[in-house]
Each structure stands twice: as C-alpha cells, then as structure tokens.
Structure 1
C-alpha cells in the first residue's frame, strides 16, 4: 500500500523555501545523492500543493525547468487546488480537495510511495492523520527567513521515529516515520 511521504530539502535553520517562496538557493545542492536516487525510484506519484506547483523553480531557465526532481523523475502528479486551471498540463491532474487528491495519488502510485511536496499540503496531511513519513534532506545553508518545514502555531507535538539517516556530500538525509 502506498505511503504518504513528505519529501523536501531544508536549510539548517528549518526553511524549505526562502523569502517569497524563493527556491534559487536549492540549485547549489543538487549534486549526487544515493538517497535521492532511491527516493525517486520508490516514488510512484506526487501530491503537490498549489503554491508549490505554481511557485519558484530552482531550475528556472534550464532544460529541466518545471520538472520534478530536476527531470530525474517522471510520473503522475496531483495538484490540490480550489482554482480552475486555464489549460491542461501534461502529466498533471488538478483536484479540488485533499481526500480526492490522496485517493487519486495512492491509486496511481500502486505499491510505491506518494511524494508530498509543499509545506501546507504536508501540514494538512499531518493534521488529518494521513502522513506516514517525512524524508528531509538537510543542507548546510542558513536562509534566515522563508517557508518553514512545518509551521502550525499552537499545534500539538508530533512524534517522529528515525527510520534511516545517511550522508551525502551536500546533505544529511533523514527518513522519519510519523508516530500515530
């Protein structure tokens, strides 16, 4: 059965995007990483938040602009949005709600995982008790401000259990299970 896994890269000070959603800082940290290769292989579909889908692209202006994981992954993407898109995007299905998006992504992923992209959509999955794992690549940079990995003022403590930890030249890779 497909697991919902929040997949992201985070600065050491806890941000997945800089001020205004800036992702340009991320392109410096896209070097070889066996954990990323394994993650891409185990991911069968993506559940993406609308802000992440329409946001800043760390590969803007390159041949891989707009492609998940810098073009190293291909498959079905499900974007949760309440807005109608003007024109279709190949490989992307726009869904109106979290539940329908999760159901469609899990069906498409089959036995593989569903990668959750975007802090807000990950928070919604976590609050609904549906997020199974967090896979975070921690890179050696301090952004100082931006979009936090997880932000829920006044929220409850959520326990995580480390499943694996590895190192790459530009990151520390943590795979964590959400304790339910």
Structure 2
C-alpha cells in the first residue's frame, strides 16, 4: 500500500513560501539533490492543494514552469479543491473532499509514494491521520514571512521519528515518519 509523503523545501525560519505565496525565493536553492532525484522515481501520484496547483512557480519563465518537480516527474495528480473546473487537464483529477482524494491518489500510486504538495493539504492529511512521512529540505535562507511549513492555530504537538538526515551543498534533508 502506498504511503503519503509531504515533501517540501522550507527556509531556515520555517516558511515554504514568501509573502503572498511567492515561490521565487526557492529558485536559487534548487540544485542537485540525490535524495530528491531518488524520491522522484518512487512517486506514483501527487495529491496537490488548489493554491499550490494554481500558485506561483519557482520555475516561472523557464521551460520547466508548471511541471511537477520542474519536469522531473509525470503521472496522475489529484487536486483537492472546493471549485471543480469545467475543463479537464491530462493526468489531473480535481476532487472535492480529502477522503476521496486520498483514496484515489493511493489507488493510482499503487506501492509507490503519494507525494503531498501544499501546506494546507498536508495539514489536513495529518489531522485525518493519513500522513505517513515528511521530507523537509531546509534551504539556508531566512524569509521572515510567508506560509509556514505547518500552522495550527492554538498549537498542537505532532511527534515525528527521524528516518534520515543528510546534507547537500545548498540544503539539509530531514526525513521523518509521523509517529502514531
């Protein structure tokens, strides 16, 4: 059975986007990362939030714009949204509720990972008990504002078990299992 993995790059101060959802901060920090290259081959489907799907792109203005992992991955995407568009996209299914989206993404992924993209969808998956692992790639930059990696007003305590820690010249990889 597939696992749900939230993979994300964040600033050292815990932001995954800059103010207003800006992703341009990420562009100078995208570089060779053998762990990410290996992971891409293990992803069977994406579960994506609507804001992430329609949002800013660190590859804006290049041939990689609008492509998952900058064009490094292709396959089925399930976009969680309250506003299902009338027109369809190849390999993209728009889904109106989390349970249906998770079930469909897991089925499409088979034994591979369902990679979760989007802070709000990851939070929803975590709260529903569906999130299995978190891969956080920490970039050496302080943003000061934006979208936090995990935001839960009033706070919460989610226990994580470290699976691995690694470094590449431009980032630190932290891989965790969500503890039951």
Give the shorter-chain TM-score range.
over 0.9
Q: Which runs of 4+ in 1 moved over 6 A?
A: none
Gaps of 5+ in 2: none
Once the two structures are superposed, the pairs formed by residues 84-123 of structure 1 within 5 Å of their partners are 84-123=84-123
Q: 1:30 Cα deviation (Å)?
A: 1.4
Work out the CA distance in 2 between the residues paired with 1:117 and 1:172: 19
Per-residue CA shift, 1:115-138, capped at 9, x if unaligned?
000000000000111110001100
User: How far does residue 156 in structure 1 lie from its aligned partner after superposition?
Assistant: 2.2
State the partner residue of 1:41. 41
Cα RMSD of the aligned pairs, angstroms, is: 0.8
CA distance in 2, matches of 1:5, 1:105: 12
Shift of 1:5: 0.6
Question: How far apart are the structure 2 equivalents of 1:90 and 1:24?
Answer: 26
Shift of 1:104: 0.6
* Greater CA drift, 74-83 or 153-162: 153-162
CA contact (8 A) 2:8 2:16 kept: yes
Quote the residue 1:19 is aligned against. 19
* Segment of structure 1 superposing worse, 79-88 or 115-124: 79-88
* 1:97-176 aligned within 5 A: 97-176=97-176
Is structure 2 residue 86 aligned with structure 1 residue 67?
no
User: What SS does the corresponding residue of 2:40 show, helix, strand or coil?
Assistant: helix
SS at match of 1:144: coil
Post-superposition offset of 1:90: 1.6
Task: Give the Cα–Cα distance (whole angstroms) in 1 for the partners of residues 98 and 130 of structure 2.
Answer: 10
The alignment status of 1:57 with 2:27, answered yes or no, reads: no
- Structure 1 position 31 matched with structure 2 position 43: no
User: TM-score, normalising length from structure 2?
Assistant: 0.98
Unmatched 5+ stretches in structure 1: none
CA drift of 1:87 comes to 2.0
TM-superposed CA distance for 1:169, in Å, is: 1.2
